[in-house]
Amino acid sequence: MLTFGGDARHTDVNHDNEIDTREQLTRLWLEVEPSVQAYVFSVVTGFQDAEDVLQQVALTVARRFEEYDSNRPFVAWALWLAKSRIADFHRKRGRERLVFSESLMDQLAAALVQRQPERSARQVAMEQCVEKLPEKSRQLLELRYEEDASMDRVAEVFASTEGAVRVMLFRIRNLLAECIQAEITKEAQ
């Protein structure tokens, strides 16, 4: 049975609440993703496997977000879910025994919870510093680290030698390290 009037307002309120919830989830996830990523990549070998597990964690966080208790740190809750997805991954792979003990995984999660604000500031600074790099430097970083291209392939794309690419990457990393430290120091003042 269709009804009109008051139900439209109720639907608008539900829609607004849903938008607010999505925005809160997105904001919280972006803050903790570097810590969750570090946790997953430290206990799952293989880049693609770790990426897959990280995606599973993100999906689980989104699906179960209504269970999150806002009186507790979001990063701790997300890492708890990550631990479950990691255990699922190892079970599916037929590994009954985890590579790391559960105790060690708990210690790692606790350390990441403590470092969360620091990682977020560092991540923001890194993103700002990468944006300041010349286009060629950003392309070099993207090809080498995001696309995981071999040094040989990077040298080929940039019509250079592997040695020259290694020197360029060394200089870029040094520039980024200096810039990140300057940004963090500036924010702390």
Average pLDDT of the chain to the nearest whole number: 79
- Residue 102: band (very low, low, confident or very high) from pLDDT cuts 50, 70, 90: low
- Over residues 131-147, the pLDDT tens digits come to 898 999 989 888 887 77
Q: Which of 184, 172, 32, 40 is nearest to 122 (CA)?
A: 184
- CA quadruple 23, 24, 30, 33: dihedral, nearest 10: -130
Q: Which domains does the chain have, with CATH numbers?
A: 7-116 (1.10.1740), 133-189 (1.10.10.10)
pLDDT tens-digit profile of 58-77? Answer: 999 999 999 998 888 898 89
State the CB neighbour count (10 A cutoff) for residue 59.
12
> Residue 39, exposed/middle/buried by CB under 10 A (0-12, 13-18, 19+)?
buried
* Structure confidence by residue, pLDDT tens digits, 27-59: 888 888 888 888 888 888 777 888 889 899 999
pTM: 0.48
Distance CA 34, CA 131 (A): 18
